[in-house]
Each structure stands twice: as C-alpha cells, then as structure tokens.
Structure 1
Amino acid sequence: MSKVRVAVIGCGSISKYRHIPEYAAHADVELVAFVDPIIERAEEYAAKHGGKAFSDYETMLAEVKPDAVSVCTPNAFHAPMSIAAANAGAHVLVEKPMAATDAEAEAMIQAAKSNGVNLMVGHNQRFMPPHVKAKQILESGILGKVLTFRTSFGHPGPDAWSIDGASSWFFRKDEAIMGAMGDLGVHKSDLIRWLLNDEVAEIAALVGTLDKKGTAVDDNASCVLRMESGVIGTLVASWTYYRGEDNSTILWCENGVMKIGTHPDDQVIVELRNGSVEKHKVGAISTNDKQESSGVVDAFLTSILTKSTPAVSGEDGRKSLKVILCAFESQATGQFIKVNN
C-alpha cells in the first residue's frame, strides 16, 4: 500500500512533542501539509519534513486532499475542523477534549460515519505501559472486585508547556472553553472508564479558578464519581501543582490495593491482603518534562492501515467528555448530575 498522506492542523506544543515526531518516525507516513495561523510555524515543519505550509485548513483540505489529519488546535475549533476534514474524506485524529459540547461530539461522530472515515480521540493514558499493565492485572482477577479509587492529574499548568507560555490560548475561555478539566480531567475520565471497563453513572464536582491570573477557565477540580457498577471514587485535575506533578491512580480492591504511577521506578505496585507485594517496572508515564511516545499516532495509523475501529473511538471520546461536562453542570447547580440522562 502507498503511504498514508497526513496533514497536521495546528503547530503548537502537542504537535511539536507528539504528533509530528511520531508521524515522522512511522515508515508508512508521508507528511504532506502543516497548518497554523502563524504561518512561520507551519513553514518550519514543512522545511524539515517536506509538504506544504498553510495558514488556513480549508484551503489545505481542498488543495492537498490528505488521507488523514491530526487536529491539534484550541478546543473550540476541534469540532468544525474535524467535521470539515471528514467531509473532505480524511481520517481524523483529534486532540482531547474532542469537542466543546456533547452535540458537537455527536456531529463529529456522524460526519465520520457518513463519510466512511475513522475518527479517533487522542486519549494517550490508555496506551501508557503502566496503565496497560494495570488493566492486565485487573483482568487477571488477582485483586478481585474494585471497590473504590482515586485518580489524579496535576501539573504547574500550560504556562510552562504551551508554545505561547502564559499568553497561551489555554487561558482564553472563548478558545479553550474549559481549563484543567478539559486538559487533564478528561484524560482521567477516559482512563477510569477504560481501566474499570465501566461507565460513570453520576458525578458531583467543585470546579474553580484558584490561582491562575487573568483567566476565566478552571485551574482546579475535585470530583466524586459513582460508576454504573457501584464503584465510587474521586477524580482530581489541577494546573497548580507547582511542585510535585501527579499522574497517578490508586485502586482499592477486595483482595488488596494497586498503585499506578505513585513511585518513580516501580510504576505499578500490587499489595495483597495476604502480605505479598508485587512491583512492576514497565516504563514511565509521560510527563511534560519527560516525553514518552504517546502510542496514539501508532494506534491511529494502525486503524487506517488495517481498516479497523480506532482504539479510542469517537464514541469513547464523547463518553469521556460527557463526564467533564457534567462536572461543570454539578459546579453550576450544586447537585449530583446523572451522566447518561
């Protein structure tokens, strides 16, 4: 088969550290276009990897007709760009959160279906070796039933990560729509759904802006979740962990506890009630300071090359987004919100 012709829309940090190098490393890919309103950013990648630079995606889609696109733009643009790409016949890998609203997510799924293309959402937590190992251990049955959990994702915020620093779109509500919950919380809602093979039934949340200056988007959230199986737990997202970045999950089960990402070397630790302890060195969870291969691009390309359903489908992305949207509704109303009303 000829190479998959890929265009990258949005040339900020997520493209720089993840999408572009992972496509460039893949033998079955030809990078054919880069799009950014700051055309110099697109031109820099075109000069390095080949392909053409564009300042707007509609011109690119019409002119280049790529086989696949990565949508790596501010959250507000995910849906219109993904739908346009699908309508142009391109497979779509969209960064998380996949959309700003549930209706947008549904429209994206429909656009992909009606055009016969794949839609995948960039939830990379599922592909990280500690989480893959943790799911295998859960499925082995050694821990018995999961009873409670806590899952947390906190770092100093996008001011350190984004290509534009403190003036980043992440802090502009009209472009970002949501803050730490859209950036980090949605990763954890996706992870817990996948790890437990379960859906969130209801959520209560406190979401606010505690320390980031000059922004209307949230920088912290603490949520209580009840899963459809009855399991209860907490989900935390923060942009104000100025020391001690945290991307960890602990599952308390009938037969013991599993700690994921709590130790720098032993990424998965299983402590059973009988006193036995297993420690697994399986590779790190990616952090902003230390980038690991995300696995997302490879999985997306596999779905195209094998004509299979993407590992994180549009439906998955929609369910993970819905949890976060319901957290905002809980904050606004002071109520527990049923997620799948």
Structure 2
Amino acid sequence: MSKVKVGVIGCGSISKYRHIPEYANNEQVEIVAVCDVIEERVNEFAEQYEAKAYTSYEELLANDEIDAVSVCLPNALHAPVSIAALQAGKHVLCEKPMATSKEEGEAMIAAAKESGKKLMIGHNQRFVPSHQKAREMIANGELGKIYSFRTAFGHGGPERWSVDGKDSWFFRKEDAFIGAMGDLGVHKTDVIRYVLGEEMTEVGAFVETGAKENSDVDDNAVCVLKTESGIIGTLAASWSYVPKEDNSTIIYGEKGIIRLEDDPVNSMVVQYKTGEVVKYELGGIQTNESGGQTSSQVIDHFVDAIINDTEPLITGEEGLKSLEVVLAALESSDTKKITSL
C-alpha cells in the first residue's frame, strides 16, 4: 500500500510532542497537511514537515488526498470536528476525552459506522508495558480475587505543558468542558477498565476547583468506583501535585499487590502474600517532562489499523465507556449522590 496521507488538526503541545513527530517517524506515513487557527504556528509546522498549512479545518477536510486525521483540538471541538472528518471519508484519531457528553460520543460512533472509517481515541495508557502486563496477570488469575485498587494521575497543571501556558484553553469551561477529570481522570478510568477487564457500575465523587486562579474548571477530583464484580477503589485526578507527576496505580488482590508506575526504576512491582517481591523494569510511562518522550505507540497502532484494516484497541465505543465514568463522577459531585452507570 502507498503511504497513509495524514492531516493534523490543531498544532498545540499534544501535536508538537506526540502526534506530529510520531507520524514523521512512521515510515508508512506522509504528513500532507497541518491546521491551526494561529497562522504563525501552523506555518512553522508546515515548513518543518513540508506539509500544506490550513487555518480552517473544513478546508483541510475538503482535501481528497488526505486519508486520515488527528484531532488535537480543545475538548469541546473533538466531537464536531471528528464527525465532520468521518463524514468527509477520513479515518480519525481523536484526543481524549472524546466528547463532552454521551450524545456527542454516540454521534461520533454512528458517524464512524456510516462512513466505514476507523475512529480511535488517544488513550495512550493502554500501551504502557506495565499496564499490559498487569492486565495479563489479573486475567490469568495470578493475583486471585481482586479486592480493591487506587489510581492517581496528577501534576502541577497544564500551564507547564500547554503551548499557551496560563492562558490555555484547558482553564476555560466553554473550550475544555472539564478540567483535571477530562485531562487526566479519563486516562485513569480507561486504564482501570482495561487492566481489570471490567466495567464500572457505580461512581461517587468530589470534583472541585480550588488550586487554580482564573479557571472555571475542576482541578482536583477524588472518585470512589465500584466494578461489576464488586471491586471497589479510588481514582484521583489533580492539577495540584506541584513537585512532580504521580501516575501510579495499585491493585490489591487475594494473593498479592501490583504496584504500577509507582517506583522510579521498576515500572511494575508485585508483592506477594508469601513475602516474595518481583520487580519488572518494563520501560516507563510517557511523561510530559522533557526527556520523557518515548513513543506513545498510539500513532503507530492507528496507522497499523488503517493499513491492515483491523479494529483499533481504543474504538469509539471504548472511549465512550471511559468518558461515561467521568460524566458519572461529575453527576455524583453535583447531586451529592452515588451515580449508577
């Protein structure tokens, strides 16, 4: 097959550090177009990657040469632009959270079905080696019955990472819809569903704004989750973990505990009930710190799915299930009640 011709819509940090360089490193891809409303920004990428610059995504989507697009825009634009791209006959890799409501997510899934094109959501944590290994061990019954878990994703906030710093869209409700829960929490709802191999059935949550000034979105959330088989656990998402990132998950089972991304050297540590401890150096998780840039594998997986006509690991349906846990957390926080899924 000839190369997959790709357009990237939105040239912020996620494009700069993940999508564009990872497409450029994939020999089966040609980046033919880049799009951003800020002309200066898009021209810089267009020049660097010898691609055509667009300031309108509609014009980019009208280019018949393009096979696939990455949607790397503020959260509120994920669904409308993804749907327009699918209707224009493009495969779509959309950043997380896929949408701002269940209805939007369902409309994206419907558009993918109607167009016969791939829709993948960029939940990179499924590709982290320790998460894949833990999923395998739990499925094999190596930990026996799983009782509980705790998972967290927190750092000092998007101002250090976003191309616009403190003026980032991340802090504006109209653009972002949700804050830390959309930025970080949805990664953890996805990874806990993936690792445990179970769906969540009940959510209780406190979703608060208090750490950031000039922001009308949440920056600290703590959720209590229950799965279909009765496993209970906590999920924290925060923009107030100031010194360094925490991206760890601990799973408590009958025969032992799995610690994931909790130790700086060993990405997975298994502490058995017998006293035995097994440490795995599997290669770390991607971080937003400089020098922490290993490939996310998301782009390569998306490209493979297009070339081999296979189902991507994180379909629209999977992305929506992870989003629904976040939406349930918001509802719980608003109503001060446990939300059933």
Q: Given the two structures, how large is their TM-score scaled by the length of structure 1?
A: 0.98
Question: Of 317, 323, 331, which aligns to 1:329?
Answer: 331
Contact 1:33/1:64, CA 8 A, preserved across alignment = no
Post-superposition shift, 1:51?
1.7
Post-superposition CA distance 1:239-295 (Å, at most 9, x none): 000013100000000001110011000110001111111000000111110222111
1:251-270 residue pairs with structure 2 within 5 A?
A: 251-270=251-270
Match of 2:244 in 1: 244
Give the fraction of aligned pairs with identical amino acids, expressed as a percent. 54
Which stretch of the first structure deviates more once superposed, 129-138 or 21-30?
129-138
Q: Distance in 1 between matches of 2:164 and 2:64?
A: 28
Query: What code does the residue aligned with 1:296 have?
Result: V
Corresponding residue SS for 1:310: coil
Match of 1:277 in 2: 277
1:29-178 residue pairs with structure 2 within 5 A?
A: 29-178=29-178
Match of 1:26 in 2: 26
Corresponding residue SS for 1:246: coil
Post-superposition shift, 1:63?
2.9
Q: Unmatched 5+ residue regions in structure 1?
A: none
Q: Unmatched 5+ residue regions in structure 2?
A: none
Question: Of 304, 312, 318, which aligns to 1:316?
Answer: 318
Post-superposition shift, 1:44?
1.1
- Structure 1 runs (4+) deviating above 3 angstroms are none
Q: Distance in 2 between matches of 1:315 and 1:115?
A: 16
Corresponding residue SS for 1:93: strand
Which stretch of the first structure deviates more once superposed, 276-285 or 127-136?
127-136
Q: Distance in 2 between matches of 1:293 and 1:27?
A: 14
Corresponding residue SS for 1:205: strand
Contact 2:11/2:36, CA 8 A, preserved across alignment = yes
Kindly indicate whether residue 3 of structure 2 is the aligned counterpart of residue 3 of structure 1.
yes
Corresponding residue SS for 2:279: strand
How many matched pairs?
339
Post-superposition shift, 1:65?
4.2
Match of 1:183 in 2: 183
Q: Distance in 2 between matches of 1:317 and 1:142?
A: 28
Kindly indicate whether residue 285 of structure 2 is the aligned counterpart of residue 294 of structure 1.
no
Match of 1:338 in 2: 340
Which stretch of the first structure deviates more once superposed, 129-138 or 249-258?
129-138
Corresponding residue SS for 1:234: strand
Q: Given the two structures, how large is their TM-score scaled by the length of structure 2?
A: 0.98
1:214-229 residue pairs with structure 2 within 5 A?
A: 214-229=214-229
Q: Distance in 2 between matches of 1:44 and 1:134?
A: 41
1:190-205 residue pairs with structure 2 within 5 A?
A: 190-205=190-205
Post-superposition shift, 1:214?
1.0
Post-superposition shift, 1:141?
2.1
Query: What code does the residue aligned with 1:2 have?
Result: S
Contact 2:149/2:250, CA 8 A, preserved across alignment = yes
Corresponding residue SS for 2:53: strand
Q: Distance in 1 between matches of 2:203 and 2:64?
A: 44
